[in-house]
Amino acid sequence: MIRVELPAHLRTLARLRGEAALEVQGAVTQRSVLTALEARYPALRGTIRDHITQARRPFVRFFACGQDLSLDSPDASLPEAVASGAEPFLVVGAIAGG
């Protein structure tokens, strides 16, 4: 089971409390995890990845195990700790409140 943590406004959009827990078939990559996430929560389509290009949107970043994975290839394997469910895949978004 892959764990995904979303920023508050995307949890609201997805009607999700806490982390998303996803079954991902095949290799555990950014692409496969986000595709599974969007399939489970269609309201998230276009909010994390561009609708057309599927590229990460510039006001969102991806982290796991304390490292910034945002510039990695979407098809690169995520850390084993994410694949095993020990650590979450973090989607961090820009917020501006003050």
Q: Determine which residue in the list 34, 47, 82, 83 makes contact with other proteins, applying CB under 8 A.
A: 47
The residues in 3-42 that bind other proteins, with binding defined as CB under 8 A, are: 7-9, 12-13, 15
Q: Determine which residue in the list 68, 80, 81, 84 makes contact with other proteins, applying CB under 8 A.
A: 68
Contacts of 55 (CB under 8 A, 6+ apart): 49
Q: Specify the residue, 9 or 76, whose C-beta has the smaller distance to other proteins.
A: 9
H runs (alpha helix) in 29-95: 30-40, 80-83
16, exposed or middle or buried, with CB in 10 Å at 0-12, 13-18, 19+?
Answer: middle
Residue 54 binds to other proteins (criterion: CB under 8 A): no
Residue with tokens 């078939």: 25
Q: Which residues bind other proteins (CB under 8 A)?
A: 7-9, 12-13, 15, 43, 47, 57-59, 61, 63, 66-68, 90, 92-98
